[in-house]
Amino acid sequence: MSESLSIDWLVSDRIGVLNASNPAESTDVQTQLEDAGFVQVVTVRPWDFTMAWRLPDRSLRNFMVRVTDPSALSRRDLWRLNEFCVYELVHGRRVPIWFEDDRVRRDVVASIRRLFAPGLADLGGFFAEAMATQRGRYAQLPEEPPRPTGCHYCHDGLCRGDLVCHTTTVQGAAAIVRSGRILSACAARGVCGDEMARDPRNAAGDPPDYFEYVMWGPGNCTAVDKLVFERVVGYVPSWEEFEADFRPAVRFFFRFADLEAHPRLTFDGIHAKIHEALELDPYLVLVVIPKGLTGSAELIQLARRHLPPKKATSSPFIGLHYKDWAQNAYRQARARTRSPSRTG
């Protein structure tokens, strides 16, 4: 017998607590959510890591929030959930949230209620004010030491955010070096976000507005190489296939602490990102170009003509595991900066 979909609404009919079986494991719940017009669900439990990804064979995006136990839910975690709710509602997407632990549920619900309480009478005005003051709320968060993320694709299971990197192909990197800035996917390719969201390679199920921003990943991340590999081959390969035919991306490294001051910085609860374009000057720390890729020799020469000498380097990858490549590139960029920076 099918279980009925029950949601305790917290903010109008837009944010609510989902009372059901785990949506990530129940095809019945997934079907009911889709039939009710939802495009996403938030699941809060001990996932391996926090990320958003499309549920298999579904249109639903699952925002997986990693909470190992109630005591592990920090102010930063609560802030990220709150900002996810704000960003999603601003873009017209409702947010049903499922919790595995009742104690975590109480903490998160209380946090959401506190944030939205002043704006319930005028949500439109509240959203405008919340987005305009987002950076101030972020600045009030206490510093937190890096925590193991459970990521299986980094050397030590710790996604390091002191340095972040934007990845692209050799051809894409050449365009960036010539123009002196990284464009959002929409601006770089001249297509709308709706078209990019429908692309079969959008395995994460990212919504159209995501493609209007310059995105990046942790400096030692390997998934950012795989993402570019997917764009090259035109489908989503397995990690085993990626390892067997490993071709790293060109990496543009930045200090996250520097990007925090960028005037077009936005947080969506999962990512920090910059609207439309990110200038290389003054933000770039280092571009690492994989030596041996087609066109890489020409790119190296181009970068040395257009960038300061210490901001471009090449590095071999043939014979390296993708984890080793990512770690080597990160270490080269880290060696170019010794100033303390905040973990994102």
Are 135 and 16 found together in one domain?
yes
| 150 pLDDT above the threshold of 80 | no
Mean pLDDT of 144-148: 62
Residue whose pair of structure tokens reads 């980094």 in the numeric block: 154
State the Cα–Cα distance between residues 269 and 289, nearest whole angstrom. 31
**Is there a contact between 54 and 132 (Cβ–Cβ < 8 Å)?**
no
Are 215 and 308 found together in one domain?
yes
Domain presence at residue 125? yes
Q: Find the domain containing 211 and state its range.
A: 163-335
Q: How many domains does the chain have?
A: 2
Are 56 and 187 found together in one domain?
no
Are 108 and 13 found together in one domain?
yes
Which tens digit of pLDDT belongs to each residue from 270-321? 899 999 999 999 999 999 999 999 999 999 999 999 999 899 999 999 999 9
Residue 142 binned pLDDT confidence (cut-offs 50, 70, 90): confident
Domain presence at residue 16? yes
Which tens digit of pLDDT belongs to each residue from 158-209? 667 789 999 999 999 999 999 999 999 999 999 999 999 998 878 889 999 9
Are 169 and 43 found together in one domain?
no
Q: Which residues contact 56 (CB under 8 A, 6 or more apart)?
A: none
Q: What phi and psi values does residue 82 have, to the nearest 5 degrees?
A: -60, -45
Domain presence at residue 343? no
State the Cα–Cα distance between residues 134 and 137, nearest whole angstrom. 5
Domain presence at residue 73? yes
Are 253 and 285 found together in one domain?
yes
Adjacent-strand bridge partners of 104: none
pLDDT of res. 234: 81
Show which of 85, 104, 139 is a domain's final residue.
139
Copy the structure tokens of residue 102: 């009742």
State the Cα–Cα distance between residues 112 and 12, nearest whole angstrom. 12
Domain presence at residue 158? no
Copy the structure tokens of residue 36: 């009710």
State the Cα–Cα distance between residues 103 and 106, nearest whole angstrom. 5
Mean pLDDT of 126-135: 93
Name the percent of the chain lying above pLDDT 90: 72
What's 67's domain CATH number? 3.90.190.10
Which tens digit of pLDDT belongs to each residue from 220-274? 889 889 989 888 888 888 889 999 999 999 999 999 999 999 999 999 998 999 9
Are 122 and 254 found together in one domain?
no
pLDDT of res. 223: 86
SS3 sequence, 201-214?
CCCCCCCHHHHHEE
State the Cα–Cα distance between residues 127 and 262, nearest whole angstrom. 21
Average pLDDT, the chain: 90
Are 129 and 33 found together in one domain?
yes
Are 126 and 241 found together in one domain?
no
Are 67 and 176 found together in one domain?
no
pLDDT of res. 343: 39
Copy the structure tokens of residue 338: 């010794």
Helices (H), the chain: 27-35, 75-90, 102-116, 123-132, 134-139, 170-179, 185-189, 193-198, 223-233, 239-244, 256-259, 280-283, 296-306, 322-335
Are 133 and 182 found together in one domain?
no
Domain presence at residue 227? yes
